[in-house]
Amino acid sequence: MSLNLSYDDENVFAKIIRGEMPKVTVYEDDHTLAFMDVFPQSEGHVLVISKLSKSVNLCDLDEDEMCFTLRAAQKVARAVVKALAPDGFRLVQYNGEAAGQTVFHTHFHIIPVWEGRSLGRHGEGMASPEELEAVAERIRHAL
């Protein structure tokens, strides 16, 4: 599969932005949306996306939107660290199916990591909305 994909307005993140699918919001501004990953690899796994850019991957993300999105990711990552006290975190961004991208709307993962705890596999183990809301509330409180 080529990295030169056209944007699909029916992808799950586009539907989330339009309010057609539920989300547990952590942070939102005019340009970005951060919400809990429903298939978390660890407690506090958050996704950060541009609300305005119809980009499939990092290569076609507008530079200004990239700056807005990365600033939001930094803000949310700081709140995750404050709220959950992980030993570290990963900022992950996949580009193309071969690299592990499953939703073709540019997005960044913030994945808290604790020593001695292994990460779950992405796409396995769907969290309940109640679990996600409880963690999101802690993160929002730390913003």
Residue spans of alpha helices (H) in 1-143: 12-17, 63-84, 129-142
The dihedral over CA atoms of 78, 88, 41, 5, expressed in degrees to the nearest 10, equals 70
What is the rounded distance in angstroms from the CA atom of residue 142 to the CA atom of residue 126?
Answer: 25
Cβ count near 128 (within 10 Å)? 9
Catalytic residues: 107
